[in-house]
Amino acid sequence: MGHLKSHRIIVFKSFEKPSYAKALEGFLIYSSLLACYNLVMDFKLIFGLLATILSIFAFLPYIRDIFKNKTKPHLYSWLVWSIIQSVGVLAMIKGGAEFGSWGLAIGCLFCILIFFLSFKYGTKNITKIDTILLLATLITIVIWLREEDPLWSVILITIIDLLGFIPTYRKTYLAPDTETLDIYVLDVFSYGAAIVAIASYSLATTLYVGSLVLTNLVMVIIVLRRRSQSLIQKKYEG
């Protein structure tokens, strides 16, 4: 019986992989995982570059139309967006967004530029409601800057950005020709690419960018619908 048991041990041992085979197998698995990771990172790098390029092409026609006195940016909106995107980009980088923050960083620089241009070229159609919204936004910004929880910070950023859009929504609804449609169409795709490019997904890194896709899409709908209604009205009046 003991003799048979020793034979079983020998048989089982003969099927065990040598140590060098195990090491080779581990190396191959590690290499495969590393290759997959690098492939994903290269893929995200491409979308990060795409988001950056789209962001540049989105803002150039807008600035061109500002100097032509065709587009009338709302000072309050661009002030809010300049503040929010500046801190938002830093928060995304800290949260591990990496490539996904590139497009927003470029957009942030353009927001600051357009804010300063708004003093000379911006709309004069600023109402009391716009001012109240600006004050509410600035108060929310103060609360947001004091918030230590990253998730609540992102939620507040999203709310503030939406509040910043409201004056521009109102102005564009009344005067749809005072906005350049291209910037909002391209921003939808730019921020969409930025989401794909995010290296580490979490609510903290995706909520704000995702909201930018939706708010810009709403702007596209407002411009197209109101321009269409204006054309129909002019046709009947003519």
Q: What is the pLDDT of residues 60-72, one digit of tens each?
A: 999 999 999 999 9
Residue 237 phi/psi, 5-degree rounding, is -70, -35
- The answer for residues whose C-beta is within 8 angstroms of residue 152's C-beta and 6 or more apart is none
Question: Which is more confidently placed, 3 or 202?
Answer: 202
**Predicted local confidence at residue 81, as pLDDT:** 86
When pLDDT is cut at 50, 70 and 90, the band that residue 107 belongs to is confident
**Per-residue pLDDT at 204 exceeds 90:** no
Query: In angstroms, what CA-CA distances link 217 with 65, 66, 223, 236?
Result: 20, 21, 10, 29
pTM over 0.85: no
Question: What number of residues does the chain have?
Answer: 238
Cα(127)–Cα(82) distance, integer angstroms: 21
Q: What tokens appear for 133 in the block?
A: 């919204």
Question: Which is more confidently placed, 91 or 229?
Answer: 229
pLDDT tens-digit series, residues 183-199: 999 889 888 887 887 77
Query: In angstroms, what CA-CA distances link 220 with 89, 139, 215?
Result: 24, 28, 9
